[in-house]
Amino acid sequence: MKHWSLTLIVIMSLVYLSEGTLQSAVEAEKPLADTSSDVKEMLKRIEQLEQRVKELEQKPALVPVPRTTQTYPPRLLLTPPGVPTVIPTLPQQPTHPQNWKRKQVNGIEYFIVPLSQSDRTPVR
């Protein structure tokens, strides 16, 4: 046998023999007698969380409504007497500055945005 293999065997055997005596830090610090107090603390915490859930369920949920712009042509709405009423469309305002370049890949639109300060124009 070579010298390095004998050294490796000795180190591995020492690691294997000392493995049984190693404990995790949590097991070494905490005795088993404190488990009843831990359970009480956890039950108390669960009760607090259940009360908090009840409070949050009683509050009305605020759902943000996205702002949409109408891109369809005007529609006709028939009122009860039968007189048609025109619902106008809103004028389309650009959602991006004019110097942004609109491109498209596989049906997905993206914009090329100029990075220099001189090319930027404020949104109107």
Give residue 96's pLDDT. Answer: 75
Residue environment code for 10-43, b if the CB has 16+ CB neighbours within 10 A, otherwise e = eeeeeeeeeeeeeeeeeeeeeeeeeeeeeeeeee
What is the C-alpha to C-alpha distance for residues 100 and 120, in angstroms, rounded to an integer? Answer: 9
97 pLDDT band, cuts 50/70/90, is confident
87 pLDDT band, cuts 50/70/90, is low
8 Å CB contact between 18 and 12 = no
- Assessment of whether the complete model's pTM goes beyond 0.75: no
Give residue 124's pLDDT. Answer: 52
77 pLDDT band, cuts 50/70/90, is low
